[in-house]
A = this chain, B = another copy of it.
Amino acid sequence: MIVVLEKNITDEQLKNITQHLEDYGFTIHKSSGAERTILGAIGVQPNFDTRKIKILDGVEEVYRITDPFKLASRSFKNENTMFKVKDVTIGSNEIIVIAGPCSVESEEQIMTIAEIVKKSGAKILRGGAFKPRSSPYSFQGLGEEGLKMLRKAADEFGLLVVTEVLENSLIDLIYKYTDIFQVGARNMQNYSLLKELGSAKKPVMLKRGLSATVEDWLMSAEYILSNGNPDVLLCERGIRTFETYTRNTFDISAIPVVHKRSHLPVFADPSHATGLRDKVIPMALAAVAAGADGLMVEVHHDPEHALSDGPQALLPDQFVEMMKQVKLIANVIGRTI
Contact = CB atoms under 8 A, between A and B. Distances in A.
Contacts of A243: 213-214, 239, 251, 254
The residue in A68, A210, A253, A288 that gathers the most chain B C-beta atoms within 10 A of its C-beta is: A253
Contacts of A316: none
Given A46-B135, A167-B193, A33 B27 contact: yes
B249 A239 contact: yes
A7 interface: yes
Interface in A231-285: 239-246, 249-257, 260-261, 273-279, 282-283, 285
| Total identical chains | 4
Nearest to A42: B33
A20 interface: yes
A290 B31 CA distance: 37
A196 B51 CA distance: 36
A144 B119 CA distance: 53
A211 B243 CA distance: 9
A133 interface: yes
B252 A283 contact: yes
A51 B275 contact: yes
Contacts of A135: 46-47, 68-69, 219, 222
